[in-house]
Amino acid sequence: MECCDFNWLLLSIVVGAVFLFTTLYSSYWYKLGVRCPWVPKPLFGHFFESIIGKKHVMAVWELIYQKMGDQPFVGVYNMRTPQLVIKDIDLINCILVKDFNHFNSRGINFDVRSNPLHNNIFVNGGERWRIMRQKMSPGFTFNKLKYMIDQIKECIDCLKLNIDKIVKEESGEIEIRDMMSKYSTDVIGSCAFGLKLDAINDPDSEFRKYGKAVVTPSIRNQIISAILLTQPLLLRLLPKNNRRQETISFFKNAFQQTIQYREKNGIDRKDFVEQLMKAREDLVLNPESKNTDVTFSEMDIVANAYILFIAGFDTVSTTLTCALYELALNSTIQNRVREEIQCEKLKNAGQLNHEFLSNLTYMHMVIKETLRKHPPLGILERVVTEPYKIPGSNVTLENGTKIIIPIRSIQHDPKYYSNPDEFDPERFSKENESNLYPNTYYPFGDGPRLCLGKRFAELEMKIALSEILSNFEILPYEKTQIPLQYIIGSFVNAPENVWLIFKPINT
């Protein structure tokens, strides 16, 4: 064979292989008799525009939701990964709650061998998840949370002093996402790592630096996500990442130092560290492993402290940012929340305790409406862990099928929430809430994998809003972007550059 012919043959084989690699998967849904919202693009599937950074991924999920019309579910391809998107509310309830045994995992494809911090309750499924959830849950009970109020109060005091300083020195203009991220970093650093971080005042805080690095979108992370959805084996071709090793060591050392310090000094503080130390005692030092093959290492405990930090700081700071933004634009609602705070403070002799916080019913409605309009996680994920026949259809889902529940779109569907773009806390008043369409509100997920930190997050947000609103009036100004602009490529649906003015209230 001549050299030229050989080159052509080689090229044809390569082109043919690439064509097959990028298109073969796309008959998956067709073979199961499941419709797609539109024809997928080779390799990119239905997510071409978000992968090239032209659209926010939430805009693509919203478009899919719109195109679904009355169909209970459709199949999409995220790169080469088939995912089933569910719109039917009853089916969602089956997946999350009634038939949970068929969907006990999120199916997140992290490589836990190369990054052991990913071996945590959020990523794990099956028995490993069940055991860890059982060990961690007692740390989130009403009684335990009561003890954490003082730890949170210390952080809000620092935040208040910092705002005071900005108001005096810089005319009160604040980029609130950054400010709220520092506050939530301090809170979760204190409760999950037992450390007084002071990220609010310390621009070089290591925790803030690592937390920021994890949630800030980077090209490398985007490439990794795309590879995971295409062919996870290709990850091995990526050059080694030294930053990852640094992050692992940082969190490992921080947690181990806290454990040593507490053990040596006999410190007894009712927080998540205490719960994780108990889990370490039961699962690592004296494993009870009577009926299970699952084993846990020191690093697994660190990984779970890490996930509390990651799950806890960006979600809370995003929600607080969106709440303050909405309150700045709706002064009547802001005044009503402030009046409620002042009235309850008077009744409670100024004490910011559990009783005071649970009486803030209007603030609770405001937080609920914020989470309806701006859920930090726009989708819920599950994976089929036992084959499942979708009720009322001929479709049987095999193990490993990925499921997506587009909660942001559901919470913006005018069928369930009239004027969905309007910020209206009254939807969640006692009288109105019972008229809402059931099972259409999922900011914290649902079923056995419901957010573990829900009550803690509500507590933390109420303390922050109480202290901010009783001391400052929040106003929009020319630098405030309306509507909010979301960061493309971030895991949490996070707004960026949210500038507001804080004016002190003379009480």
User: Which residues contact ligand HEM by CB under 6 A?
Assistant: 121-122, 133, 188, 307-308, 311-312, 315-316, 319, 371, 376-377, 380, 443-446, 449-453, 456-457
Nearer to ligand HEM, 371 or 498 (CB): 371
Cβ-based nearer residue to ligand HEM, 80 or 144: 144
Q: Supply the minimum distance, in Å, between the C-beta of residue 453 and ligand HEM.
A: 2
* Tokens (6 digits) for 32: 């199961």
Residue 449 Cβ vs ligand HEM, minimum distance, rounded to whole Å: 4
| Comparison of 25 and 140: residue with beta carbon closer to ligand HEM | 140
Least gap, CB of 133 to ligand HEM (angstroms): 5
Alpha-helical segments (H) within 330-453: 331-347, 354-358, 361-373, 407-411, 430-433
Read off the tokens for 126: 């099956």
Closer residue to ligand HEM, CB minimum distance, 155 or 452:
452
- Asked if 64 contacts 406 with a C-beta cutoff of 8 angstroms, the reply is yes
- Cβ closer to ligand HEM: 103 or 356? 103
- C-beta contacts of 139-147 below 8 A and 24+ residues apart: 139/271, 139/272, 139/274, 139/275, 139/276, 140/452, 140/453, 140/455, 140/456, 142/455, 144/270, 144/271, 144/275, 145/354, 145/455, 145/456, 145/459, 146/354, 147/269, 147/270, 147/271
322 vs 469, beta carbon nearer ligand HEM: 322
Q: Considering the complex, state which of residue 26 and residue 124 has its C-beta at the smaller distance from ligand HEM.
A: 124
* 3-class state of residue 436 by DSSP: coil
DSSP secondary structure letter of residue 117: G
Q: Are 333 and 423 spatial neighbours (Cβ–Cβ below 8 Å)?
A: yes
Q: Could you tell me the smallest distance in angstroms from the CB atom of residue 317 to ligand HEM?
A: 9
85's tokens: 């998107």
Min dist. Cβ of residue 302 to ligand HEM (A): 14
In the complex, least distance from residue 410 CB atom to ligand HEM, rounded to whole angstroms: 13
Least Å distance between CB 175 and ligand HEM? Answer: 20
Q: Minimum distance from CB of 256 to ligand HEM (Å)?
A: 20
CA 205 to chain centre: 22
Nearer to ligand HEM, 73 or 313 (CB): 313
Nearest residue (CB) to ligand HEM, 276 versus 397: 276
48 CB neighbour count, 10 Å cutoff:
16
**Rounded to 5 degrees, what are φ and ψ at 226?**
-65, -40
In the complex with ligand HEM, the residue whose CB is nearer, 158 or 383, is 383
Could you write out the DSSP letters of every residue in 134-198? Answer: HHHGGGGSHHHHHHHHHHHHHHHHHHHHHHHHHHHHHTTEEEHHHHHHHHHHHHHHHHHH-----
We find the least distance from the C-beta atom of residue 454 to ligand HEM, in angstroms, to be 7
Q: Which of 493, 459, 503 is nearest to 155 (CA)?
A: 459
Q: Which residues contact 418 (CB under 8 A, 6 or more apart)?
A: none
Neighbour tally for 503: CB within 10 Å: 12
Nearer to ligand HEM, 43 or 279 (CB): 279
Nearest by Cα to 305 from 122, 487, 477, 441: 122
Nearest distance from C-beta of residue 96 to ligand HEM, angstroms: 6
Contacts of 141 (CB under 8 A, 6+ apart): none
DSSP letter string, 484-506: PEEPTT-SS--EE--EEEEEE--
Min dist CB 314 to ligand HEM, Å, is 9
Cα distance between residue 333 and residue 341, in whole Å: 13
Helix (H, G, I), strand (E, B) or coil at 72: coil
Cβ neighbours around 189 below 10 Å, total? 25
We find the least distance from the C-beta atom of residue 295 to ligand HEM, in angstroms, to be 20
Which of 26/317 has CB closer to ligand HEM?
Answer: 317
